[in-house]
Amino acid sequence: MSEAAELLFAVPVSNGVKAQLKTNYLLLGQMNDVYWSDAYELYVADPNTTNMTAQLVPSILLWMFGDMAGAAETKMH
């Protein structure tokens, strides 16, 4: 999450913003990081997996990066 924020945002963002993005997108509101880790690892190992959560990995990343790209923090003044 931190690396993505550094690449996409023109200004540093707080850890709270990063945590909110992680919870809202990667964890889909879950409080346990294992939710994302397991889904991501399953998807990377087999992009054709039948695991429903792992099948969402590409969409989740697109939604998160789309939201980050549209944020005010990406605009240089």
Interval 1-59: pLDDT, tens: 778 877 777 778 888 888 888 898 889 888 888 889 999 999 999 999 999 999 999 99
CB under 8 Å, gap of 24 or more: what pairs does 15-21 form? 17/73, 21/64, 21/67, 21/68
pLDDT score recorded for residue 72 = 62
pLDDT score recorded for residue 56 = 94
Whole-number Cα distances in Å, 51 to 33, 38, 73? 17, 10, 34
Ordered by start, the domain boundaries in the chain are: 2-72
- Percent helix, strand, coil in the chain (nearest 5)? 65, 0, 35
The whole model's pTM is what?
0.76
